Structure 1
């Protein structure tokens, strides 16, 4: 006997991405929260590290927009602390004119940055691009794992495993850069090409931020980061992945 038909519930709508804004300027914070909410994001706004820690402890956060100049613990220290425990995407914003501060932010694990003042529409575009990368939205559907020298890159799970099978933590930008290089072994890729392959054409404020991310990748995969074996710098050209790569 056939039982009663089950009523199918409608598909649950996708959860809006949750953006945590850490900004102590209340006027800027209110403006950005309004823009991000209108753009379809769930937004939490806090003014310092303690407020950020509280939100992260109780809610699922998909991306952090982090100001450098904050009361108490500054943005650079917060970024360093976040990155030791999580691969959550981080966009740093700074009013400082010195590019060194921005480079330091990238070196300690920020995925992207914007100097103040900036167009709020650009921030929205960068958030969306970074969320797409974090969710595996780049790569044109190429999800087959890649192998080189015992290392395994899995685009589907967005994980990197070393020759011993241990997972190596990477930011979204680092993962996409390494995957792009591995998909073009023996080919010189310029910084413009790497930006196109990993940022969907959305260039960072200074193109040389690619260099910082490549340096971080080398620290994680190279036997001797000071004398790289896998990722070679090509003078006036860009970068080339020299190790043979196989699809798993």
Structure 2
């Protein structure tokens, strides 16, 4: 099998990045721009080769196209997420909302329309790798989940912010734990509802938004400049690095 990888000859110790896209011209442009910024770029032009490479090598991030012949980006991502948490930045044609929703629900970290600028690509890439390398929450010796000034103990069902107790309902507590454990990834409303309840909800059920709103008030979290819970429009929510955003 012919090796389609491309590496920057002047950056042998660069940050490893895998690009999976059948558009050879676009791949060359991505490599040309990112290599001088310290990225060591590998390229695969189909989903099958890309998945095999992603599963057998270590990368800081993967840029993955949605539309490819044969194994498309969604299939690649679905298989990848069974064993890997490598940050994935998906490329979508014209920023199609349906593609964004599907990709994020399957575990993509971010997305870009194929009309992106090189500066935006670099910024998004840095953002997804930064979120991945910085733990959203930690677990101390007592077993508490800790994110900045926020502390959760699942066994005692207690929560505190700045060492002050939080009066959370059972559902608010469960939502907060689910978001914290998502490791900085987007959680759709449907995923949250299934996480916190034994019964299944309609995917259009917006009751989760009301509970998120109440939870934000108790966390003193401004939705316009969130410290803990960020809204991903039309999709769901993501837990941020508490106290450090």
Change (3 A) 1:219 1:18: farther
Distance in 2 separating the partners of 1:26 and 1:239: 48
Could you tell me which residue of structure 1 aligns to residue 72 of structure 2? 74
- Cα offset for 1:16? 3.2
CA contact (8 A) 1:65 1:91 kept: yes
Could you tell me which residue of structure 1 aligns to residue 30 of structure 2? 32
Distance in 2 separating the partners of 1:239 and 1:90: 31
CA contact (8 A) 1:16 1:42 kept: yes
- Cα offset for 1:219? 4.0
Indicate the RMSD between aligned Cα atoms, in angstroms.
4.4
Indicate whether 1:240 and 2:238 are aligned. Answer: no
Could you tell me which residue of structure 1 aligns to residue 18 of structure 2? 20
Could you tell me which residue of structure 1 aligns to residue 240 of structure 2? none
- Cα offset for 1:241? 6.6
CA contact (8 A) 1:233 1:240 kept: no
- Cα offset for 1:220? 4.4
2:97 to 96, 99, 103: 99
Change (3 A) 1:222 1:242: farther
CA contact (8 A) 1:102 1:113 kept: yes
Normalising by the residue count of structure 2, what TM-score does the alignment of the two structures yield? 0.58
SS in 2 for 1:93: strand
Name stretches of at least 5 consecutive residues in structure 2 with no aligned partner: 1-12, 149-153, 156-160, 173-178, 220-245
Indicate whether 1:43 and 2:41 are aligned. Answer: yes
Distance in 1 separating the partners of 2:29 and 2:146: 39
1:53 to 48, 51, 54: 51
Farther-moved stretch of structure 1 (215-224 vs 78-87): 215-224
Distance in 2 separating the partners of 1:85 and 1:240: 32
Distance in 2 separating the partners of 1:133 and 1:71: 31
Q: How many residues align?
A: 181
Distance in 1 separating the partners of 2:146 and 2:33: 35
Distance in 2 separating the partners of 1:20 and 1:143: 28
- Cα offset for 1:48? 0.8
Name stretches of at least 5 consecutive residues in structure 1 with no aligned partner: 1-14, 157-161, 164-179, 189-193, 200-208
Q: Deviations over 1:188-216 (max 9, x none)?
A: 9xxxxx9xxx99xxxxxxxxx96x54544
